Structure 1
Amino acid sequence: MYGGEMQAKKAEVIPMPGAAAQPGKRKTILCRESEVDAVPLGTGDWTIADVPGLILRAGTTKKTWRVQRRVNGKLATKVLGELTAATAKRQASLVWQRLKPPAPDGKITLGEAWQRYLGEKPLAPATRRLYEYNVKKYLRDWAGRSLEQIGQDRAGVRALYLTLVRKHGKALASQVLRQFRATYNYQRRVNPELPECPTIAVDIAPVKPRDWALSDEELRAWWAGVQRLRPLKRTFWQVLLLTGARRGSVEALRWRDVDFDCGLIAFSTAKAGRIYSIPGCARLLELLRAWREQAPPGSEWVFESSKKPGYHIVAARDDKRGVVSAHHLRHTYRTVLAQLGCPPDSARLLLGHSLGGDVSRGYITAALVVESLRPWAEAVAAKYSEILGW
């Protein structure tokens, strides 16, 4: 068969699920809830472009997931069933690794151990992307080496660290080595015959707390910059200020997450997959009500992207306009809580942090104490009003 005929028989890729299924065409989508919801029933199999081996089956009455991987020339399949896109993605990474025959003890490579770690640990999406980037960017030459070999090469690991320090700085070098250490030790739990983690030969720089909270003067300068932004961004930054939430949590906020009747806001996209609710102060709820009147009608997102309708904004930044990062506002919120005398556990709940290792804190059901946090949320808003002259 000639090359031209071969190309003619290759499956054509459909980038989005807008059209009905057509025979002979390979249909692909990204593993996002919005794209999965848009897939019509009865359209058959859809390949998930950003997750290896993951397939969505759109039957006549329901949508189910499965993972496929070719092993030793044969197609191995594992049915996952009916799941959300996020759960399917998380389970698929784990199943993808398990479908491959296990390497002999100690012979697993760093690259394989890295993928296993990402598949089994409940990491936040941003953390997962950082792990994937670092292993490809800085550990590419090490990914094919076995953990057993690396474990016996302390001098090589120290040399790697010093090279990274020289080329990229101590902070990044320490980040890469901490991720390597976490991956290596995670695999060592399964195979205790592995040598001690070779990072013992490296003095990894500790992570230093950052003094990022804004002073009253800096907060007023920030507010001046925010007031010059378009309405969406102006509202977005005020929500960050009044909640102390992570940027990604506010970017992915849906209108269904805002309960105006009860005065509660649920953040469903938080670190390590945690979901938490906070009481919205009166100013915040008033702000969101006003924004709902201006926002695109029918959109599920509180902050829908103007460049990509149907999706929320991503990686919002306005530092060139004098608006500092969202994490500065998170530090500021926590600092104001401390100034007001807020108890540590209440502050943790407001910021969506875990309650720590104290066993007694494990008996606290966050959802039942959320209303007790409202006075603190109102007190922070009052402090901001005093500083900014609202």
Structure 2
Amino acid sequence: MKKIKFTAGRVEEFACESGKSQSFLWDTASPGLGLRVTANGAKSYIFQGKLNGSTIRLTIGDPRTWDIAKAQAEARRLKVLIDNGQDPRKVKADALAAEKAARDAQEAAIAAEHDRRLRESVTLGDVWSEYIDDRIATREKGWSGHHIAAHRKIIQEGGQPRKRSPKPTKAGPLWSLSKLRLIDLTTERIEAWAKEEAKIRPSSARLAWRLLKAFMNWCASHKTYSSLVNTNPTKSARTRESLGKEKRRHDVLQREMLQSWFDAVRKIGNPVIAAYLQVLLLTGARREELAALKWTDVNFQWGSIKLSDKVEDFRMVPLTPFVAQLLTKLPRRNDYVFSSPTSKSGRIAEPRIAHNEAVAAAGLPKLTLHGLRRSFATLSEWIETPKGIAAQIQGHAPQGVREQNYIRRPLDLLRVWHVKIEAWILEQAQVDIPPLAAPLRVVAG
């Protein structure tokens, strides 16, 4: 072994011998310290010694980062370890393991402190908005604009001014729980809340309970909040009993009410709302999927309407003659068919008020917007419309093996019956249909 006293110049000049893959140069000042150079010119300080009769070799480092004095000091340290019967490799591994254990312990302590602070501070109201944003970001099926608005309204503070009423907004059913910490939302607390809310507004309380139940399930699977929600406190028989079952609504337009309803609705001062309500009845659509209708979803040439759907991504329904006439008369202010110059969204937001006033003026029983959807299903039976066809037009999930797996109705088949339904309803309402300037493509039935 070639031994010399290491100097900066000698270390710099040392090169690999020709024909070899690596060459070594050993220091006379520090036993075991060597300089290794490979055929491609890579250099490193090494240490070599004997432990229990076996030669061991360890890399110290690159001469560009280790000066000679530091390399010699490291070699002496390794020599002491070997002389004491210790394997430097094991000593290094133990030291690294100890450092890792110390880091892990520190991180665990930080996590425990964070968890403690989280448990002591995070409230239902804090996490609710995060929950909504997460569901919007993941585009979860079923989260329409109306559903998002319901989540925000159910926990609102109240006392805010309204646009169309001098009365301020009311606090949502979940507002009384919004300041509670998640860890304080126990089964007993939810049961007490349900008992009180059921006395004031049972329908809203039932909706709030369902939304809260889904929220708690989300928390239980969340990486941050799962430690705060061991079980879902909303799943209680007493809570369910307190809130009771939702009563089925029976509001519907019967045949003899059609003329009064159409007369009153067509007198509404806002032509967009008047058209929207008539189309809502004549298509049997859900209120929000029709309110969100865009001009690009209406095909006047082929007589079709594309509606966002609760069951599927979308569904195609016929554009019937009278509905087509209603739509052609609407102003094209923006992308939405039923537009509104005052609404933030650009489309009608609350046609219910005008509808309630029209129903009252006509002397008809209370009728909700969903009641118009119910009315379409009921009135379609007067002309013996096949149930599957009416259901498909309305966007109901197929029922039964035949509907689910075998029947695939084209749009023109739906049109045959939809045109008949519209014509019969308008006939009962004594509404005259002026001829179309450019007739739609309609299949005769």
TM exceeds 0.5? yes
Q: Which runs of 5+ in 2 are unaligned?
A: 1-110, 157-171, 361-366, 432-445
Aligned-pair identity (%): 22
Structure 1 residue 117 displacement after superposition: 4.0
2:173 corresponds, among 116, 133, 138, to 138
1:320 corresponds, among 354, 357, 363, to 357
1:389 corresponds, among 425, 430, 434, to 430
Structure 1 residue 322 displacement after superposition: 2.8
Structure-1 residue corresponding to 2:338: 303
Tell me whether 1:227 sits opposite 2:266 in the alignment.
yes
Could you tell me how far apart the structure 2 residues matched to 1:272 and 1:135 are?
27
Structure-1 residue corresponding to 2:233: 197
Could you tell me how far apart the structure 2 residues matched to 1:353 and 1:210 are?
18
Q: Secondary structure at the match of 2:188?
A: helix
1:285-337 CA deviation, whole Å, 9 max, x = no partner?
24333x1xxx4467443333255699333212322233754322111001123
Residues 199/237 of structure 1: CA separation in 2 closer, same or farther (3 Å cut): same
Could you tell me how far apart the structure 1 residues matched to 2:131 and 2:314 are?
22
Structure-1 residue corresponding to 2:257: 218
Conserved 8 A contact 2:266-2:274: yes
Structure 1 residue 104 displacement after superposition: 4.5
Could you tell me how far apart the structure 2 residues matched to 1:310 and 1:127 are?
15
1:207 corresponds, among 237, 246, 251, to 246
Conserved 8 A contact 1:185-1:197: no
2:317 corresponds, among 278, 282, 293, to 278
Amino acid corresponding to residue 334 of structure 1 in structure 2 = A
Could you tell me how far apart the structure 2 residues matched to 1:297 and 1:163 are?
48
Tell me whether 1:181 sits opposite 2:213 in the alignment.
yes
Conserved 8 A contact 2:213-2:232: no
Structure 1 residue 217 displacement after superposition: 2.4
Residues 304/298 of structure 1: CA separation in 2 closer, same or farther (3 Å cut): closer
* 227-236 or 154-163, larger mean C-alpha shift: 227-236
Could you tell me how far apart the structure 2 residues matched to 1:310 and 1:219 are?
32
- Give the superposed CA RMSD: 3.6
Conserved 8 A contact 2:155-2:173: yes
Amino acid corresponding to residue 375 of structure 1 in structure 2 = V
1:333-371 CA deviation, whole Å, 9 max, x = no partner?
011234444444433321123447x687665797x7333
Structure-2 residue corresponding to 1:375: 416
Amino acid corresponding to residue 337 of structure 1 in structure 2 = S
Could you tell me how far apart the structure 2 residues matched to 1:158 and 1:172 are?
16
Could you tell me how far apart the structure 1 residues matched to 2:406 and 2:219 are?
33
Could you tell me how far apart the structure 2 residues matched to 1:181 and 1:310 are?
29
Structure-2 residue corresponding to 1:237: 277
Structure 1 residue 130 displacement after superposition: 1.5
Structure-1 residue corresponding to 2:296: 256
Tell me whether 1:246 sits opposite 2:278 in the alignment.
no
Could you tell me how far apart the structure 1 residues matched to 2:232 and 2:332 are?
58
Conserved 8 A contact 2:173-2:205: no
Structure-2 residue corresponding to 1:348: 391
Could you tell me how far apart the structure 2 residues matched to 1:272 and 1:129 are?
20
Larger of the two Rg values belongs to structure: 2
Map 1:71-150 to 2 at 5 A: 104=115, 107=119, 109-111=123-125, 113-118=127-132, 119-120=134-135, 121-122=140-141, 123-136=143-156, 137-150=172-185
Q: Secondary structure at the match of 1:194?
A: coil
Q: Secondary structure at the match of 1:212?
A: coil
Could you tell me how far apart the structure 1 residues matched to 2:217 and 2:430 are?
52
1:182-213 CA deviation, whole Å, 9 max, x = no partner?
22233335549712434413113222221121
Structure-1 residue corresponding to 2:191: 158
Residues 141/249 of structure 1: CA separation in 2 closer, same or farther (3 Å cut): closer
Could you tell me how far apart the structure 2 residues matched to 1:174 and 1:296 are?
39
* 175-184 or 308-317, larger mean C-alpha shift: 308-317
Amino acid corresponding to residue 139 of structure 1 in structure 2 = L
Residues 194/302 of structure 1: CA separation in 2 closer, same or farther (3 Å cut): same
Report the number of matched residues: 280
Could you tell me how far apart the structure 1 residues matched to 2:282 and 2:386 are?
18
